[in-house]
Amino acid sequence: MNSKKNVDIKKILDKIPKQRALEEGDVVTGVIVQTTDKIAILSLEATKKQHILTPSSSGVIFIRNASDDYVEKMGDVVRIGDIVKAKIVEVDKFGFKFAINEEELGVLQSNCSKCKTPLILNSTNIKCLKCNTINLKKIAKV
Ligand SMILES: [Zn+2]
């Protein structure tokens, strides 16, 4: 690689609006793509332009970071498909670790686990207006 080319690349990069990698403390939005009893996998969506996201921008919510109240299993706070607002509590080589145990963090959008009707997020026990199924959630207070 010759040095002239390097200079040109730097000039081009300087013109691009500054972006930075996500770091501890950043609040992000993503979708739950997998859950087990003890963890959920959150895949980030490119909602904030100043942040660099790659297709593999995802990470883990451990059950201890899901709620300040006792939670028996992850499915009682989030489920696959939920749109979730989360805070990055750790970044390591394996990816992000997220927390949703603060008031403004948690589920922003969700569908009934049984009939897929969009839920009205107004309590931790949400009754589906269509099928009356009770859906448990950790809701983001906005
Ligand atoms: Zn339902």
Residues with Cβ within 8 Å of residue 6, at least 6 apart in sequence: none
The CATH number that applies at residue 92 is 2.40.50.140
Considering its fold, how many domains does the chain have in total? 1
* Cβ proximity of 96 and 58 under 8 Å: yes
Ligand 1 centre to CA of 134 (Å) is 8
129 CA to middle of ligand 1, Å?
7
For residue 13, being part of any structural domain is answered with: no
d(CA 94, CA 127): 37
* Successive 10-residue mean pLDDT values, the chain, 142 residues: 67 72 89 96 71 73 94 94 95 90 96 95 90 94 84
Give the pLDDT confidence score for residue 113 in this predicted structure: 93
Domain around 96: 20-136
Query: Would you say residue 41 lies in a domain?
Result: yes
Tell me whether residue 124 is in a domain: yes
Rounded to the nearest angstrom, the distance between the alpha carbon of 72 and the centre of ligand 1 is: 22
